[in-house]
Amino acid sequence: MRKRVLVTEPIHPSGMRRLAEEVEVVTPEGASLDALLGDVDGVVVRIAKIGAGLLERAPHLEVIGKHGIGVDNIDVEAATRRGIPIVFTPGTNDEAVAEHALMLMLMLAKRVQETSRALREGRFATVRAEPTGIDLKGRTLGLIGVGRIGSRLAAMCRLAFDMRVLAYDPYVAPERAAALGVELIRDLDPLLAAADFVSVHTPLTPETRGLIGARELAQMKPTAYVITCARGGIVDESALLAALRVGQVAGAGLDVFESEPPDLASPLFQMDNVVATPHVAGGTMEALEAMGLLVAEEVLAVLRGERPRYLINPAVYTR
Please indicate whether residue 82 is annotated as part of the active site: no
Please indicate whether residue 121 is annotated as part of the active site: no
- Say which of 95, 99, 231, 297 is annotated catalytic: 231
Give strand pairing partners of 66. 45
What is the C-alpha separation between 229 and 282, in angstroms, rounded?
A: 9
Contact (CB, 8 A) for 124 and 191: no
- Say which of 56, 260, 286, 306 is annotated catalytic: 260
Please indicate whether residue 231 is annotated as part of the active site: yes
- Say which of 12, 152, 279, 298 is annotated catalytic: 279
Residues known to be catalytic: 231, 260, 279
